[in-house]
Amino acid sequence: MPEVLPHLQRLEGEAICILREVAAEFRNPVILYSIGKDSSVLLHLAMKAFHPAKPPFPLLHVDTTWKFREMIAFRDATAKSLGVKLLVHTNRDGIERGINPFDYNPDLHTQVMKTEALRQALDMHGFDAAIGGARRDEEKSRAKERVFSLRSSNHGWDPKNQRPELWGIYNTRIAPGESMRVFPLSNWTELDVWEYVQAQAIPVVSLYFAKRRPVVRRAGSWIMVDDERMRLNPGEEPEQRLVRFRTLGCYPLTGAIDSTATTVAEIVHELGSSASSERAGRVIDHDQASSMEKKKREGYF
């Protein structure tokens, strides 16, 4: 067994226990796989939880069609090498309406291509439990959420009326039409995730590591020019810059940071001296005080 800190082992044990509880109690669960580091850790834990069997649930990726190209390549390679079933869903209606992050408000883009798309996919497959890699330390409304978080028949979250959740005894009962969102990484921090990635040598998308990339400066963030669809403003000239990403999402809405960290160990070191939060690079998060809560009440992860 690789050398891990006791507290990482404890987090691992808790997460595996949660994943097995889902397998035992739900009829049709799914892992929401968003390709980022948290999803990589989640998938790694699912592989371990059921070893030597494969995880008894498929992966679902909600593809907005604006993800970094490297993410999509990594996604397909991961599903193939691990031998797990991968479902990809895109909101066709949104595509036909021409929704994109340039002509529309980023919030609307997220609403249609992520939240609505997710609801469509969950309804279409009839999933009764959706496992996600969200963590409580990411954002303050997430800090309030239960590990097993009930969703109404239209996928809404009622933050004022959550079920009490004592010890590690989870109430998994749902009425017809309702579903459960489950967060095995609730108690992990960003640093825990990276330390675990390091200890277990878990593959992550190379966008997390510093490299010279073509970027433009927008609203205080470095936005990468990932393909020809990126619209440049008059006078805007992409520059090659040594950057990396702390979180991953739709490339026009995800800011890179200046960094020289090219290994996981360097990332762990860098986090120790960082003054900004993990989600600071996400354009969709900081428009209002309760934007995440609002999105979650509508069904966002």
Partner 1 sequence: MGHPATAPGSGTRLRVVACGSVDDGKSTLIGRLLFECDSVSSDQLAALTRDSRRYGTTGDEPDFALLLDGLEAEREQGITIDVAYRYFSTARRRFVVADVPGHEEYTRNMETGASNSEAAVLLADARKGILTQTRRHAHILSLLGIRHIVLAVNKMDLMDYSAERFARIAEECDRLAAKLSFASVVPIPVCARNGDNVTTRSPRMPWYDGPVLLQHLESLDIDGGSETKPMRFTVQWINRTNAEFRGYAGSVVSGILTEGQEIVVTASGVRARVNRIVTGDGDLKQAVAGQAVTLVLSDEIGISRGDILTLPEWRCETADQFAAHVVWLTHEVMLPHREYLIKFNSRVVPGRITALRHRLDPDSLEQVAARALEMNEIGYCHISTREPVSFDPYRENRETGGFIIIDRQSNATAGAGMIDFALRRAANVHWHELDVNAGARAGLNGQKPCLLWFTGFSGAGKSTIANLVERRLFAEGRRSYLLDGDNIRHGLNRDLGFTAADRVENIRRVTEVARLFVDAGLITLVAFISPFSAEREAARESFRPEEFHEIYVDTPLEICRARDPKGLYARAASGRLKNFTGFDSPYEPPLKPELVLRTAEASAEELASHVIGYLRTKGLIP
The CB-of-141 to partner 1 minimum distance in angstroms stands at: 5
> Is the omega angle on the peptide bond into residue 238 within 30 degrees of 0, that is, cis?
no
The CB-of-95 to partner 1 minimum distance in angstroms stands at 32
CA max distance for the chain: 58
> What is the smallest separation between the CB atom of 47 and partner 1, expressed in angstroms?
6
Among 151, 293, 299, 300, binds partner 1 (CB under 8 A): 293
| Shortest distance (Å) from residue 92 CB to partner 1 | 33
Q: In terms of CB distance, is 45 or 205 closer to partner 1?
A: 45
Judged by CB under 8 A, the number of residues near partner 1 is 65
Helix, strand, or coil here: 88?
Answer: strand
Q: Is 206 in the site for partner 1 (CB under 8 A)?
A: no
- Between CA 163 and CA 167 the distance in angstroms is 13
254, 282 contact by CB (below 8 A): yes
Footprint of partner 1 on 82-141 (CB under 8 A): 136-137, 139-141
Place of tokens 């309030």: 144
* Residues 165, 162: Cα–Cα separation, whole Å: 9
Indicate which single residue of 166, 219, 228, 237 sits in contact with partner 1 (rule: CB under 8 A). 166
What are the strands, taking DSSP E only, across the chain? 29-32, 59-62, 86-89, 129-131, 148-151, 179-182, 211-218, 221-224, 239-244, 255-258
By beta-carbon proximity to partner 1, the closer residue of 52 and 234 is 52
- In contact, 241 and 258? CB cutoff 8 Å: yes
Site residues for partner 1 per CB under 8 A? 1-2, 5-7, 9-10, 12-14, 16-17, 20-21, 23-24, 47-53, 136-137, 139-144, 146, 159-160, 162-169, 171, 173-175, 186-187, 189, 191, 200, 268-269, 271-272, 274-277, 280, 286, 289-290, 293-294
